[in-house]
Copies of this chain bind each other. A is one copy, B any other.
């Protein structure tokens, strides 16, 4: 497999993530995501198209090709394995790992990553609960849904928190909600979309709509 620049990799990764939400990704969306100007996006889109990583017709948005998706999954594999390493071995907290992994993910030595994977015991998810692609690029279809979509009286497990600001983390910590926490939705209030949830066997607690929107759980 060929090598790509750090910049190319950042574009590919961003497109992969936006695609999942959107289907087709637009120039402005990607510019916002990467904190770059739209003109820069167009430049790179031409380059990635030339390398057959991207389906792109001017003004029509873009999607990764099968090859582009493979490259994206390689980057995501590296990112998430390093995140796991940082949390598990170096004792970083789960909210610190992303930033460091942003740099480590660009070291693309296959043997390094496969040996790291083995050393870590082939973990299936990273510290945020996101699945780690295997050496062949296979990734478990994440069956995550937002806790707001969960029916009442269903027990499930928190797998990820989308916002990762220190403000939300403070609140989560206070409410004792963390990745892996077992939660059950007890009541939903239409007035303000707040909800009551139970954590383990403790009394129900209330979470606001804003908070709920950022908490994701497994469907099963």
Query: Which residue numbers of A lie inside 8 Å of B, CB to CB?
Result: 86, 89-92, 100, 103-104, 107, 109, 111-112, 115-116, 119
- Contact status B115-A90, CB under 8 Å: yes
Q: Quick one: which of B91, B103, B116 contacts A107, CB cutoff 8 A?
A: B103
**Copies of this chain, tallied across the complex:** 2
In the complex, A112 Cα to B116 Cα: how many Å? 16
- Contact status A90-B112, CB under 8 Å: yes
- The 6 sampled A-B contact pairs (Cβ below 8 Å) are A91-B115, A92-B115, A100-B107, A103-B109, A104-B104, A104-B107
In the complex, A116 Cα to B116 Cα: how many Å? 14
Can you name the residue of chain B whose Cβ is closest to the Cβ of A104?
B107
- In the complex, the 8 A-B pairs of residues with the closest C-beta atoms, listed nearest first: A90-B115, A103-B107, A100-B112, A100-B109, A90-B119, A104-B107, A89-B119, A90-B116
Q: How far is the CB of A145 from the nearest CB of chain B, in Å? A: 33
Can you name the residue of chain B whose Cβ is closest to the Cβ of A99?
B109
In the complex, A115 Cα to B92 Cα: how many Å? 9
In the complex, A214 Cα to B217 Cα: how many Å? 59
In the complex, A120 Cα to B146 Cα: how many Å? 39
Can you name the residue of chain B whose Cβ is closest to the Cβ of A107?
B103
Contacts of A92 in B (CB 8 A): 111, 115
